[in-house]
Amino acid sequence: MTKLSVNINKIATLRNSRGGDVPNLVSVAIDCERFGAQGITIHPRPDERHIKYQDVYELKEIVSTDYNIEGNPTEGRFIEVVMDTCPTQVTLVPDKLGAITSNAGWDTITNKALLKDLIQSFQNAGIRVSIFVDPDIKMVEGAAETGTDRIELYTESFAQQFPRNREAAIAPFVKAAERANELGLGLNAGHDLSLENLSYFHQNIPGLLEVSIGHALISDALYLGLENTIQQYLRQLQ
């Protein structure tokens, strides 16, 4: 079964907009799990515009499902807080300082040595490692050479092309997934997956272990309610 990890960055963005503690991030994470989410994802950035470093520690105390911390290991206090909290999984993302959102996967060939050292350090601490990659066979093969446990396919291009031509949109992801399976890599996916495209993606990607969804899910929850929304996303993965 493919697990649903709910990214709660947007909840933190809403909280920070007023400078207080409403909505409370810990309470929302607990509720997400209670409503059926099988994981919680956060992406602390150096500017702390949504997830604050203190949130990483507070969430560690209460998350009872898979705890996934994603981010750029070369910036801010990322490595420090990951090592301090030892989440279930760390997802390495090469987003640049100030980026609105993640917008590219790793060049796993150019960054092989860097990634290999980082991955080994996290694995030695008992943390499963996933690295963010584009649906490119060479990048998938490069990822395997780093020693990572999993890759996360960056799905923005799929989501953008899906309304026009779903078969063309999914094709490179199928090939990347098949190669990942051949190489023994675990397979995650995320970015712009939604109620409209998730079922099709899930049905066509072999060996999909986890999807991480935040923006679309939280946006849907404004209309549908958080519990109902999580249940609807779970149904897309059945």
Packing angle of the helix pair 226-236, 215-224 (nearest 10 deg): 130
Written as six digits, the tokens of 145 are: 């050479």
Q: Which residues are catalytic?
A: 43, 70, 191
Q: What is the pTM of this model?
A: 0.95
Q: Give the other-Cβ count within 10 Å of 184's Cβ.
A: 8
For residue 84, what pLDDT is reported? 98
Residue percentage of the chain with pLDDT more than 70 = 97
Query: What single DSSP character describes residue 95?
Result: P
The CA distances from residue 127 to 5, 123, 218, in Å, are 17, 5, 27
pLDDT by residue (tens digit) across 7-37? 999 999 999 999 999 999 999 999 999 999 9
C-alpha span between 125 and 89 (Å, rounded): 11
Arithmetic mean of pLDDT, 44-59? 96
For residue 99, what pLDDT is reported? 58
What angle (nearest 5°) sits at the alpha carbon of residue 116, between those of residues 105 and 147? 85
Residue percentage of the chain with pLDDT more than 90 = 94
C-alpha span between 111 and 109 (Å, rounded): 5
Contact in structure between 88 and 110 (CB atoms under 8 Å): no
pLDDT by residue (tens digit) across 177-190? 999 999 999 999 99
Q: Which of the four pLDDT bands, split at 50, 70 and 90, describes residue 87? A: very high
- Kindly list the structural domains of the chain, giving each domain's residue range(s) and its CATH number in brackets, ordered by start: 3-236 (3.20.20.70)
Packing angle of the helix pair 25-34, 226-236 (nearest 10 deg): 50
